[in-house]
Amino acid sequence: MAFIQSFHGIIRAYNSVSLIVRIVIGIIAGTALAFLTPGASWIGIFGEFFVGALKAIAPFLVFVLVTSALCQGGGALDKRFGTVIFFYLATTVIASATAVLASTLFPQTLALNVTAAHGAAPSGIAEVMHSLLRDMIANPLILLINGKYIGILFWAVVFGFALKCTASEATKTVLRNVSDAASQAVRWIINCAPFGIMGLVFDSVSSYGVEIFTTYGKLVLQLVGCMLFVALIVNPLFVAVTLRRNPYPLVWRCIRESGVTAFFTRSSAANIPVNMALCEKLGLDKEMYSVSIPLGATINMNGAAVTIAVMTLACVHTLGLPVSLPTALILSVLSALAACGASGVAGGSLLLIPMSCSLFGISNDVAMQVVGVGFIIGVIQDSVETALNSSADALFTATAEFYQWEKEGKPLPASVFGG
């Protein structure tokens, strides 16, 4: 009995500390252990367990959240939803164009001598589109197992509307309970993030040493710089034009309460409950955000568009290939389309790099070496990418809702905009 009480006391003390503080401690511990005990490979198991748990629950979470929302929703998916979709797609294209421009002005090169074999990758946009369409008619269970998010989203919409027409109130209640249970399971996993982050940092530093932070420093700076430009300039500009007021209180709120968590979980899909909790705090319509947030985790991929464009042009510059203006424009659109098909879990954008490389006639073998570089710098690149993607989901959902409030003469929340 005393042991159980002591255990509960430890759990309460652990939960009483801010998650961000715990994660910082995990990063420091992982780095220290990598230098002190580099051979203790068992420490990396914590990271494997954490990432594996997120990858396992995320597809099911997206499916049940969207299905439950559509099944029980009323007529909330009005012009606000169209506004959110516009924000998602427009900013993804602009993010890609930003990356292309930055890579043209400040070309980067790679040491294409890594050995990386992370699986087959699409060779062209036609193959990508065919794959997405094929996913839409694939077995839903297989899609859930393989984490094919576009297909999962399609079947969630089909089941959601079908249940809306046929399900009893008791069935809808059960589905809502399953949705809540899946969200709670993700919260428990995220609560264990400090241990997972410790394992991931240990693996990265043990494998690559401090060189992981220096070898491709300029490339990482360009990636992060483009993403910060989108997060702090492009996205706020959309908010400012829509709401006609200072956007940064809302932007900082979304970055602080959504982006920071997503930075460490490195999964837009796993960060869905965090975003939905933020939307609830902001007083948004649940029928709206319960659909727009899971959808954003699937198609709002500003950071992924930046990654695909920057990595592709780094490969192009390494090989000394010319880049014409029409080709750059095509790459911007291609990267944006590819980003919308990126997986909502860690590293989901990297396997789409060979597809955009094919635009320049680069062989798949060379392109997969670029993917290998992506996995090396992913400890930084993927974290910032996910933070941008996920925080923008909440930002644009709130912006669309607040725009509707203003048209109706309803005051915006003082906790965000003051007064």
Average pLDDT of adjacent 10-residue blocks, the chain of 419 residues: 68 74 80 83 82 73 73 62 86 88 85 45 51 72 74 80 83 82 78 80 72 70 92 93 90 90 78 88 85 80 86 84 72 69 54 69 70 70 87 91 85 71
Q: What is the pLDDT of residue 129?
A: 57
Extents of the domains making up the chain: 2-417
Structure tokens at 110: 């790679």
Structure tokens at 206: 């043990």
Q: What is the pLDDT of residue 380?
A: 79
Cα–Cα distance, 374 to 259 (Å, whole number): 21
* 345-392 pLDDT, tens digit each: 455 566 667 667 766 767 666 776 777 677 667 667 888 888 998 899
Q: What is the pLDDT of residue 179?
A: 77
Q: What is the pLDDT of residue 132?
A: 59
Cα–Cα distance, 417 to 328 (Å, whole number): 39
Angle among Cα 65, 66, 70 to the nearest 5 degrees reads 120
* 171-195 pLDDT, tens digit each: 888 887 887 787 788 778 777 878 8
DSSP of 285-317: -HHHHHHHHHHHHHH--HHHHHHHHHHHHHHHH
Structure tokens at 159: 């089941």
Contact 392, 91 (CB under 8 A): yes
pTM of the model: 0.67
Which are the contacts of 63, defined by CB distance < 8 A and separation ≥ 6? Answer: 140, 144, 152, 155, 156
Q: What is the pLDDT of residue 145?
A: 80
Contact 226, 102 (CB under 8 A): yes
Contact 192, 352 (CB under 8 A): no
Phi first, then psi: give them for residue 362, nearest 5 degrees.
-80, 130
Q: What is the CATH number of domain 2-417?
A: 1.10.3860.10
- CA-based nearest residue to 87, from 332, 261, 301: 301
Q: What is the pLDDT of residue 112?
A: 61
